[in-house]
């Protein structure tokens, strides 16, 4: 009878982890399946344990890779087999992705790098379960001065005052702005309130020399530009 001082699971797991690592290093974006990406990440937080069942259970519960990474930290920590260390390992990846996306937006003119902006906004807002309204204030070269969280809640005149939006632009020395908000329902199609508020802000801006470049609505199903739809 073979005698070993290592648990069989740990011994077998070593080879599996090495194979995953090699595929990750040698392959491209498709080197690992979604559950394998979570599995490999959790391996760094929980050594010497099979992470495949846990990674699959996370995907089943939260619905997708994006769902796992955007899940509430406490919900992750309380998931069977997880804990604060494992939840932190997942959330640090989410934080890094958002920071990288934001850096891309800050380093170049927004209008000349539109897809970079959409990627940043999607990463940051598509997963939200409540509406959030933001104003991106831009300088004369269309570089980002401030990404301002205006309100958490529906986009209507009760929450958004056009004069205050434009006044902040003047205070910042901004010459233009882009409105952004998300639709938790998933569909990014604009409502009547979305269109009305946008045009009132655009009119207030015109009176004081502030250009409203666009209003972008983010949803899980994609995004909509009110300017592209001819609604501004």
What is d(CA 225, CA 118) in angstroms, rounded to the nearest whole number? 10
The better pLDDT of the pair 19, 178 is held by: 178
Residue spans per domain, the chain? 16-98, 120-229
Residue 157: band (very low, low, confident or very high) from pLDDT cuts 50, 70, 90:
low
Q: What is the pLDDT of residue 158?
A: 52
pLDDT tens readout for residues 102-119: 887 777 788 888 888 998
Domains 16-98 and 120-229 share a fold: no
Sheet holding 176-182, edge to edge: 144-152, 132-138, 176-182, 211-219, 222-225
Q: Is 144 helix (H, G, I), strand (E, B) or coil?
A: strand
Of 19-28, 181-190, 192-201, give the lowest mean pLDDT range: 19-28
pLDDT at 4 over 70: no
- Superfamily (CATH) of domain 120-229: Cytidine Deaminase, domain 2 (3.40.140.10)
Q: What is the DSSP letter of 202?
A: H
CA dihedral 101, 104, 105, 109 (to 10 degrees): -160
What is d(CA 158, CA 199) in angstroms, rounded to the nearest whole number? 15
Closest CA to 112 of 143, 73, 79: 143
H/E segment holding residue 57:
helix 52-62
Q: What is the pLDDT of residue 9?
A: 42
pLDDT at 101 over 50: yes
Residues contacting 39, CB < 8 A, separation 6+ = 20, 51, 52, 54, 55
pLDDT at 63 over 70: yes
Neighbours of 19 (CB within 10 A): 10
The better pLDDT of the pair 186, 148 is held by: 148
pLDDT at 97 over 50: yes
Residue 1: band (very low, low, confident or very high) from pLDDT cuts 50, 70, 90:
very low
Q: Which CATH number does the domain 16-98 belong to among 1.10.155, 1.10.150, 3.40.630, 3.30.60?
A: 1.10.150
Give strand pairing partners of 211.
176
């Amino acid at each position: 009878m073979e005698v070993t001082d290592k648990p069989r699971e740990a011994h077998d797991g070593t080879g599996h982890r090495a194979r995953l690592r090699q595929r990750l290093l040698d392959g491209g974006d498709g080197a690992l399946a979604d559950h394998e990406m979570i599995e490999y990440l959790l391996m760094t937080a929980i050594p010497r344990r099979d992470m495949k069942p846990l990674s699959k259970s996370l995907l089943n519960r939260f619905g997708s890779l994006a769902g796992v990474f955007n899940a509430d930290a406490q919900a992750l920590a309380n998931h069977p087999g997880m804990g604060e260390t494992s939840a932190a390992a997942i959330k640090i990846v989410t934080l890094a992705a958002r920071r990288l996306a934001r850096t891309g937006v800050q380093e170049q003119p927004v209008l000349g790098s539109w897809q970079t902006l959409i990627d940043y906004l999607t990463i940051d807002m598509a997963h939200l379960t409540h509406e959030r309204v933001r104003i991106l204030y831009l300088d004369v070269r269309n570089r980002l001065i401030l990404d301002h969280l205006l309100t958490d809640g529906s986009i209507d005149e009760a929450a958004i005052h056009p004069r205050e939006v434009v006044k902040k632009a003047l205070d910042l020395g901004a010459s233009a702005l882009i409105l952004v908000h998300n639709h938790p329902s998933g569909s990014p199609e604009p409502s009547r309130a979305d269109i009305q508020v946008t045009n009132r802000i655009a009119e207030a801006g015109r009176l004081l020399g502030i250009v409203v470049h666009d209003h972008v609505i983010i949803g899980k199903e994609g995004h909509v530009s009110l300017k592209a739809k001819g609604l501004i």
